[in-house]
A and B are shown apart, each in its own frame.
Chain A
Amino acid sequence: MSFRKTLLITAFVVLGGITLLHGALNLGWFAPRATTASGAARDKFRVGFLPVTCHLTCPVTDFINKQTTGGSNFDPVRFHGWPELKEAYLSGYTPVTFILAPMAIALREQGVPIKIVYLGHREGGDVMVHKDSGIYRTEDLRGKTVAVPGRYANHRLIFYRELKKAGMKLSDVNLVEMPPPDMPAALYSRSVDAITSGEPFPGQTEMDGYGRALYRVKEVWPGFISCVLAVHEDVIKNRRAEVQALVDGIAKSGKWLDANMTNRVDAAQFVSKFYYNQHPRLLEFVLSKPPDRVIYSNLKPLRANFEEIEQLAKEAGILQGTAHFDDYVDTSFAPEDDAVQPHPYATAQR
C-alpha cells in the first residue's frame, strides 16, 4: 500500500474508532435515553460546584431529586478550582453556580450580571497547624507561611479579621495562595505552617492525625458565610419558576442534612461515591465531628452579614466597595427559614 493511502486510512480509522469509543464509553451515545425522556429535560440548566462541603447541598439536591422523582431539574457540573468555575459562569456554560461570596460581589463590581439568591452553608472550615508546631495563638503565626485558597476566599477574610484582632497586619505573615486539595500534603510536609480553607481539606489533616485546629471558623465568627448560590440575571428574568424550584430544593436539602445524623452519614456515602469521588470516611468525619462543623440551615441571605463581608473585604483590599447588597442579592427566591421543611426522603426508603 502506498504511503499516502496508508496515512489516510490510518487517520480515518484512528479518528473514527476513537470517536466511537469515546462516545460509547464517556458520552453515553448508545445508552438508552430512559432518564431524559421528557422534552424539558434537554433544556436543564447546569449548576457549577466544587467538591467541598460548602457546596454539599448541590449534589444532595440532585441525588434526592433523582431518587424521588427519577430525574433532576438541573445538571450539576463539578469543577476543580475557582478560576475554571468562574470562567464557566462567565462563558454562560453554567448560568447558575455555587461561588465564593466576595468573588460574586467582585464580579458584580466589574459589571457581571450576577445575583446571589441563597447561601450554600454557614460555618465550616478551620485554620489548621501541624500538631508538632509551637503555634497556639494567632500571634504565634508572625513570620510564618500560611496557605489560603485565593484572594476572594472568605477564609482569607476571616484570617485577616483574626490578625486584626491580634493587632497584626497581613504583611506580618507570609500568605501563599494554594488550591485547597493541595493543602493537606503541604501541611504534612511542613512546607507551610498553617492552612485555611473550607472543608473537607482541613478536616482531612485532623482525621489523618497531623493537623491541629488553631481555631474553627465557627468559634470566631458564628454564622460565617463563605459560598453562595449565584444566578445569571437573564436566568432570573426568563426562568423564574425553575430558579425557584432549585432554591426550594436546596433549602430542603439543607434542612434534611441538619435534621439528623443518619441523613448526614447517608449523604457522606452517596456524595463521596457519586459526586466528589473522595473517601466516604472523610466526608463523614467533617460532617459529624463535631456534628455542627458545617451547618445548612438559616440560609436566606441577610443584609447585615453581607455588609460585614463587604466592609472587611474593602479593608483587606479585595473589593472596591462600589456594589451593595441590593445590587448583588435577590432575596425574592429565598424562603424564610421556619417555612423550610426537610425533604421527605429517608435512607430507609432505599
Chain B
Amino acid sequence: MPRPALRTAHATTLLSFALPVGVGVMFLLGWHAAVRISGSDLFPTPVEVGRGLLELARQGLLLKYVVASLFRVSWGFALAVAVGVPAGLLLGWYSRGFQAFNPMIQIFRPISPIAWIPVAILWFGVTDAAPIFLIFLASVFPITVSSIAAVQNMQPVYLRAAQNFGLSRGELFRQVILRASLPQIITGIRIALGVAWLVVVAAEMIAVNSGLGYLIIDARNAGKRYDLVVAGMVMIGVIGLVLDLLVRQLEKFDEVRWGYARR
C-alpha cells in the first residue's frame, strides 16, 4: 500500500490530467447534443469534424497546412521579437525616445491586421511575405509595449546597485536591465505568440494556397463543407495550446523564474 504522501502526489497528477480532459469531454458531448437537438444539417458534429480531419490527413493536406501556417507564424513572430524587444528596451530606457515614439506606437497598435490586408497585397503580392508581414504587425506591438513597460517598471534598487559597482553602459544594459526585465518580456512574448497564431486565419485570407486559415476559407468555397471549417478551427486551437506549453518551458530557466512568484 502506498504511503499517504505518495498517494496524494499520485492523486494530484491524476487530477491535473483528469480535470481538463473531463471538461473537454463535457464540451464535446454538449456540442454533439446541441447539433442533434437543433437538427442543423449545416453545422457538423464532433464526429463529422473528426472524419474531416482524417480525410485531410489521408490526403496529406493536414501536415502541409500545419507546416505552412507554422512557417508563416514562426517567421512573422521571430521578426517581431527581433524588432520588438530591442525597440522596447531602448524606448523603455530613454524617456525622450519614449515621448517621441509612444504616440505613434499607440496609433498603430489598435489597427487590426485585417485592415492591413490590402496594403500587404499591394506591397508583397500574394507571396508568403504578405501573411508574414501581417503576423509581424499583429505581434510586434504587444512585444514592444511589454518590453517598454518591463524596463520602466524595473525596481530602482537594481540600478543604484549597478551604479555603485560602476558598471559601464553596455554592461548595465546586458547584465542588469535585460535581466531584470526578462520575466515581463517573456510574458509579453507569450501573449504575442497567442496573437500571432490568432491572426493566421486573417493573414491567410490572402490568396496563398496553403495553411490552416486557407483551409477554413477554402472550405467555405467548397459548398457545404463546414466540417472542414471546424476542423481548421480545431487544429488552430490545439496547436495554439501546444505553442503556449512550449513557450512556458522558458519559465523554467532561472533567468526567468525569479520573476514569477508561484502561489
Contact = CB atoms under 8 A, between A and B. Distances in A.
Interface of A: 3, 6-7, 11, 14-15, 18-19, 21-22, 25-26, 48, 51, 77-81, 83-85, 87-88, 90-93, 179, 181-182, 184-185, 188-189, 200, 204, 208, 276-279, 282
Nearest to A48: B207
Given A18-B67, A22-B71, A277-B218, A11 B78 contact: yes
B30 to A, nearest CB: 21
13 contacts: A3-B256, A7-B250, A21-B67, A22-B68, A77-B207, A80-B221, A83-B118, A88-B125, A184-B223, A188-B42, A204-B223, A208-B224, A278-B222
A83 B217 CA distance: 15
A277 B222 contact: yes
Given A3-B253, A277-B218, A84 B67 contact: no
Nearest to B67: A21
B6 to A, nearest CB: 32
Given A80-B205, A83-B118, A189-B42, A26 B221 contact: no
A282 B70 contact: no
B91 interface: no
Contacts of A181: 220-221
Nearest to B70: A18
Contact of A84 (B74, B121, B222, B226): B121
B117 A84 contact: yes
Contacts of A276: 221-222
Given A3-B254, A26-B64, A279-B222, 20 more contacts: A7-B250, A11-B78, A15-B78, A19-B75, A25-B63, A25-B64, A80-B205, A80-B207, A84-B121, A84-B207, A85-B207, A87-B117, A87-B118, A87-B121, A88-B126, A91-B124, A179-B220, A185-B42, A188-B42, A204-B224
Interface residues of B, number: 37
Nearest to A200: B223
B224 A3 contact: no
Contacts of B223: 184, 200, 204, 278-279, 282
Given A77-B126, A189-B42, A51 B221 contact: yes
Contacts of A184: 223-224
Name B's interface SS. helix
A334 B257 CA distance: 71
Most A C-beta atoms less than 10 A away, residue of B42, B64, B222: B222
Contacts, number: 100
A204 B71 CA distance: 35
Interface of B: 42, 63-64, 67-68, 70-71, 74-75, 78, 117-118, 121-126, 128, 205-207, 209-210, 217-218, 220-224, 226, 250, 253-256
B205 A84 contact: yes
A66 to B, nearest CB: 17
B67 A22 contact: yes
B67 A88 contact: no
Contacts of A188: 42
Contacts of B256: 3
Contacts of B75: 15, 19
Contacts of A93: 121, 125-126
Contacts of A11: 78
Nearest to B253: A3
Contacts of B221: 51, 80, 181, 276-278
Contact of A25 (B68, B78, B126, B220): B68
Nearest to B119: A87
B77 to A, nearest CB: 10
A3 to B, nearest CB: 4
- Closest 6 CB pairs between A and B? A93-B125, A22-B71, A87-B121, A3-B255, A79-B207, A3-B253
B210 A26 contact: yes
A25 B67 contact: yes
A32 B221 CA distance: 31
Nearest to A182: B220
Contacts of A7: 250
Nearest to B209: A78
A26 B67 contact: yes
A6 B246 CA distance: 13
Most A C-beta atoms less than 10 A away, residue of B64, B78, B121, B254: B121
Contacts of B128: 22
A194 B122 CA distance: 34
A21 B74 CA distance: 12
Contacts of A19: 71, 75
A155 to B, nearest CB: 17
A18 B239 CA distance: 14
Contacts of B205: 80-81, 84
A80 B122 CA distance: 16
